[in-house]
A and B are shown apart, each in its own frame.
Chain A
């Protein structure tokens, strides 16, 4: 019998973590990537990686509080057991990365330094300058190279994943790949296929994501029958630098290190920002959210910046939307030491030194919280059954999803510095599960009848050849991509309205039909980037439809999904008794809404459109509570809600799983 192998698609943090751990377990790994793995999108992550640590612990922090911040930040849309396991592992993951040589910033005594990030009151975030993602990725890349030199990992770089190979029982037995240089299409038999292929930001045209983040691999799995969860949950990062080719991230760490967001109180004040006196500046995040200030969760910061520019007309510039992100009050040397990397990016692309001139920034599409549906096996304590082959598995047997391309960890909104953690964690945890899977499998995929694979190769080859032979003079794939980006950005980002989403869905359907009529400007069969892009474009549509349809149907506000028509109201009464009454109604409505909408959106592909169903969310560890940031009457709602919780708890007794029902904390009172 041939030895069993795993194919990992994607060599970012998640894929590399999985490869390294599998190799340690003695399992042979193939790794396929659109780009040399060292150039994966993980390098763009700047700010850091979260974990409860010795210092925060003594200030009252715990893994449980990290879990609480994560699910509260995500508006309770994620299953809690995987998140609990992740936050429990977080300190250990920092230790591991430290051992692997990540150049984390140090305190004067030599400990790993930490900074504060959005959505928490603790300094949990370890960082390596402002290129933490790059540094983490390099350490994993180095370990995988070590295994590669020993023959345990074989890399296929500049290869495109065209789709899984499913046998007659619907089990995944490998995948089809295409060499982006020679254009060769071939099959890779594998006993497990792991997708760690990242987000799908390119569906929005320009985003903070890298050029490989088309979502095509996830889409190909989706079209082969994998479920896609919470597609509509797309994070728009509050602070990015607008650009012609992409929107470049300005890390949350700029605010973590004390950066302040403001606009002049006078619209489009033409004075040099540094000459504008304090009294004439509007620090709108600090004024509206006194407790969290500039470090409110991302969805809220994004909406406020959007609101200040679009609704209040206070954009710094006349013809372009942007606000100031100001670091100039901080010592320049300290800025260089802690934020050098990101400040250099701003200077390189804008020609202005942000240590001395406030930056101009605006929100941009940044992260896909949604993604391939993934499963987990829960323990009685509410964590994960380690080494269970169910963890991270999609609904297609032997097909796994990890990292940003799964939907597991971030609910409706991701906290800053939690993505690097979820990527490494999901990569590490999938490995022992696959080891268990292999123990139960009979036979190896490489020993299967070759016709299963040759049939799939033939099908993909025929599709490829047909594309090349398309007659000239029809649609231009690059222009269709632009149109898709425009409609998606307009309808499915910061503020969502059903009339716009309705129209957008029709437009996306129409663009999809037009895209099927694309003509290629390159009909050759050597390093043909034109055909590769066109295929990726075609595969953007199923996900775009899942995003728009999911957003259209979800009639509520949750995390990054903000539909003002369904917003929970502020309290209006002036007197306390009136407010109490309103707060009671508010809490009733909150409960009602959760009954209806505290559910994962599950899309399945029917060949032309996504069918949407809903699944319950495991919120057994931390009872969902309202996010009250900035609401008028928040303190009264909090009071009423806490009383109700206390009553419920008394009525049901201990919940039996160690779960605590925390009271509302962190409201904007």
Chain B
């Protein structure tokens, strides 16, 4: 039975989903079509769940279920980022009825293009976590014994910091960034896991760090205790692949699902690194 979407348009009984699939790293990708029965309150996750339960293409061919990454389904974990109808976003908040308003025939799903595909819609975003290491995105406390409360902070400070700390490392800002390009390495036959990791880290560290990590550096540089190691974070941002690579396209802020003021962070980091560079020059 057809039901109606929220604005009264009649929803179809079923719809097609076009998915860009890939068996594994280094393999060719290909499009595959599935037909899914329409249900009330569907999102892209429930579409992929239906496909997993009955993995048949529109031609009736049985195929392996589509691999994808997800966890919380509430848009707070960042796992299910993919490219839905050409737009990078979380699959959980991609509501089917809304998508069908744009194109009532089909929904198109692709993996993010800036990260190596592991399989189908699942990509390797470990580079993002490496970037957080590079900018030392943490408060350098002495330890975890009871030392009383942290420094008192004003409500204004909290209201600036909180939006930045909502970054869930989903990668949307990087997918949309013209300067952020894919880094994909293959393990050599004679290479140990540890050596391969080292080589990957080196490649990540010399490539553009991207808006998410820059904004985290700004977050911790504004924290009363985090400030104490601000110089180290600014050094990281001035390193190869640092803030100077940013081309100011401002796509990042437009696609961030948490509406984090990323370009404000980048501007702040830009000013701070300039001052830091001048200071360092005088201190030589």
A residues in contact with B54, CB < 8 Å = 476
B146 partner, pick from A43, A95, A479, A521, beta carbons under 8 A:
A95
Whether A41 is near chain B, meaning CB under 8 Å from some CB there, is yes
Are A134 and B71 in touch, CB under 8 angstroms? no
Known contacts A100-B139, A349-B93; decide if A244 and B133 are in contact (CB<8 Å): no
Chain A residue at minimal CB-CB distance from B7: A351
How far, in whole Å, are A248 and B226 apart by their CA atoms in the complex? 34
Known contacts A39-B72, A100-B139, A351-B95; decide if A181 and B64 are in contact (CB<8 Å): no
Known contacts A96-B146, A526-B119; decide if A244 and B73 are in contact (CB<8 Å): no
Are B162 and A526 in touch, CB under 8 angstroms? no
Interface digits, A131-149 against B, CB 8 Å rule (1 contact, 0 not)?
A: 1001100110011011011
Are A249 and B74 in touch, CB under 8 angstroms? yes
Interface size class of B (residues with CB under 8 A): 35 or more
* Distance of A471 from chain B, by nearest CB (Å): 14
Whether A129 is near chain B, meaning CB under 8 Å from some CB there, is yes
Chain B residue at minimal CB-CB distance from A23: B144
Are A101 and B132 in touch, CB under 8 angstroms? no
Interface digits, A274-305 against B, CB 8 Å rule (1 contact, 0 not)?
A: 00000000000000000000000000000000
Chain A residue at minimal CB-CB distance from B119: A527
How far, in whole Å, are A99 and B52 apart by their CA atoms in the complex? 44
Partner-binding segment picked from B38-46, B175-183, B262-270: B38-46
Are B158 and A99 in touch, CB under 8 angstroms? no
Are B43 and A41 in touch, CB under 8 angstroms? no
Are B226 and A101 in touch, CB under 8 angstroms? yes
Are A105 and B40 in touch, CB under 8 angstroms? no
* Distance of A246 from chain B, by nearest CB (Å): 5
Chain B residue at minimal CB-CB distance from A149: B133
Partner-binding segment picked from B11-19, B76-84, B103-111, B271-279: B76-84
Known contacts A103-B158, A106-B154; decide if A245 and B76 are in contact (CB<8 Å): no
How far, in whole Å, are A201 and B67 apart by their CA atoms in the complex? 22
Whether B6 is near chain A, meaning CB under 8 Å from some CB there, is yes
Partner-binding segment picked from A107-115, A162-170, A321-329, A588-596: A107-115
B residues in contact with A345, CB < 8 Å = 74-76
Known contacts A99-B141, A128-B162, A148-B133; decide if A211 and B118 are in contact (CB<8 Å): no
* Distance of A625 from chain B, by nearest CB (Å): 33
Are B52 and A478 in touch, CB under 8 angstroms? yes
How far, in whole Å, are A243 and B44 apart by their CA atoms in the complex? 12
Are B122 and A527 in touch, CB under 8 angstroms? yes
How far, in whole Å, are A527 and B21 apart by their CA atoms in the complex? 13
Are A43 and B133 in touch, CB under 8 angstroms? no
* Distance of A97 from chain B, by nearest CB (Å): 8
Whether A524 is near chain B, meaning CB under 8 Å from some CB there, is yes
B residues in contact with A98, CB < 8 Å = 149-150
Whether B28 is near chain A, meaning CB under 8 Å from some CB there, is no
How far, in whole Å, are A530 and B143 apart by their CA atoms in the complex? 43
Known contacts A24-B143, A145-B137; decide if A248 and B40 are in contact (CB<8 Å): no
B residues in contact with A479, CB < 8 Å = 53
* Distance of B255 from chain A, by nearest CB (Å): 15
Are A248 and B146 in touch, CB under 8 angstroms? no
Whether A461 is near chain B, meaning CB under 8 Å from some CB there, is no
Interface digits, A329-356 against B, CB 8 Å rule (1 contact, 0 not)?
A: 0000000010001000100110100000
Are B152 and A110 in touch, CB under 8 angstroms? yes
Are A95 and B150 in touch, CB under 8 angstroms? yes
Whether B70 is near chain A, meaning CB under 8 Å from some CB there, is yes
B residues in contact with A341, CB < 8 Å = 76, 166
Are B64 and A524 in touch, CB under 8 angstroms? yes
Whether A226 is near chain B, meaning CB under 8 Å from some CB there, is no
A residues in contact with B119, CB < 8 Å = 181, 526-527
Are B158 and A106 in touch, CB under 8 angstroms? yes
B residues in contact with A99, CB < 8 Å = 139, 141, 147, 149-150, 225
* Distance of B61 from chain A, by nearest CB (Å): 12
Are A248 and B73 in touch, CB under 8 angstroms? yes
* Distance of A307 from chain B, by nearest CB (Å): 25
How far, in whole Å, are A528 and B159 apart by their CA atoms in the complex? 43
B65 partner, pick from A104, A108, A522, beta carbons under 8 A:
A522
* Distance of A136 from chain B, by nearest CB (Å): 11
A residues in contact with B226, CB < 8 Å = 101
Considering the complex, which residues of chain B in the window 128-145 have a beta carbon less than 8 Å from any beta carbon of chain A? 129, 132-133, 136-141, 143-144
How many chain A residues have a CB neighbour from B under 8 Å?
73
Are A41 and B71 in touch, CB under 8 angstroms? yes
Are B71 and A35 in touch, CB under 8 angstroms? yes
Considering the complex, which residues of chain A in the window 1-44 have a beta carbon less than 8 Å from any beta carbon of chain B? 20-21, 24, 35-36, 38-41, 43-44
A residues in contact with B6, CB < 8 Å = 351
Whether B185 is near chain A, meaning CB under 8 Å from some CB there, is no
Are A245 and B43 in touch, CB under 8 angstroms? yes
How far, in whole Å, are A143 and B226 apart by their CA atoms in the complex? 12
Considering the complex, which residues of chain B in the window 171-206 have a beta carbon less than 8 Å from any beta carbon of chain A? none
Known contacts A96-B144, A478-B52; decide if A44 and B74 are in contact (CB<8 Å): yes
Considering the complex, which residues of chain B in the window 223-240 have a beta carbon less than 8 Å from any beta carbon of chain A? 223, 225-226
* Distance of A85 from chain B, by nearest CB (Å): 14
How far, in whole Å, are A145 and B220 apart by their CA atoms in the complex? 14
Whether A428 is near chain B, meaning CB under 8 Å from some CB there, is yes
B residues in contact with A657, CB < 8 Å = none
Interface digits, A35-60 against B, CB 8 Å rule (1 contact, 0 not)?
A: 11011110110000000000000000
* Distance of A150 from chain B, by nearest CB (Å): 10
Whether A210 is near chain B, meaning CB under 8 Å from some CB there, is yes
A129 partner, pick from B129, B140, B155, B162, beta carbons under 8 A:
B162
A residues in contact with B157, CB < 8 Å = 106
Are A211 and B73 in touch, CB under 8 angstroms? yes
How far, in whole Å, are A311 and B111 apart by their CA atoms in the complex? 47
Whether A454 is near chain B, meaning CB under 8 Å from some CB there, is no
* Distance of A216 from chain B, by nearest CB (Å): 15
* Distance of B237 from chain A, by nearest CB (Å): 17
Whether A92 is near chain B, meaning CB under 8 Å from some CB there, is yes
Whether A508 is near chain B, meaning CB under 8 Å from some CB there, is no
B residues in contact with A521, CB < 8 Å = 52, 55, 62-65
List, sorted by A's number, 17 A–B pairs whose CB atoms are closer than 8 Å.
A38-B129, A44-B76, A99-B139, A106-B155, A106-B158, A128-B165, A142-B138, A145-B132, A145-B137, A211-B72, A244-B39, A248-B73, A349-B93, A351-B95, A521-B55, A521-B62, A522-B55
Interfacial residues, chain A to chain B (CB-CB below 8 A): 20-21, 24, 35-36, 38-41, 43-44, 92, 94-96, 98-101, 103-108, 110-112, 128-129, 131, 134-135, 138-139, 142-143, 145-146, 148-149, 157, 181, 210-212, 242-246, 248-249, 337, 341, 345, 348-349, 351, 428, 476, 478-479, 521-524, 526-530, 533
Interfacial residues, chain B to chain A (CB-CB below 8 A): 6, 23-24, 39-43, 45-46, 49, 52-55, 62-65, 67-68, 70-79, 92-93, 95, 118-120, 122, 125-126, 129, 132-133, 136-141, 143-144, 146-150, 152-155, 157-159, 161-162, 165-166, 168-169, 220, 223, 225-226
Given contacts A96-B144, A128-B165, 17 further A-B contacts (CB under 8 A): A21-B144, A38-B78, A39-B71, A95-B147, A96-B146, A99-B139, A106-B157, A108-B155, A110-B152, A110-B153, A135-B165, A138-B165, A145-B138, A211-B70, A245-B43, A351-B6, A351-B95
9 smallest A-B Cβ distances: which pairs? A142-B138, A478-B53, A98-B150, A527-B119, A522-B64, A99-B150, A101-B139, A39-B77, A245-B46
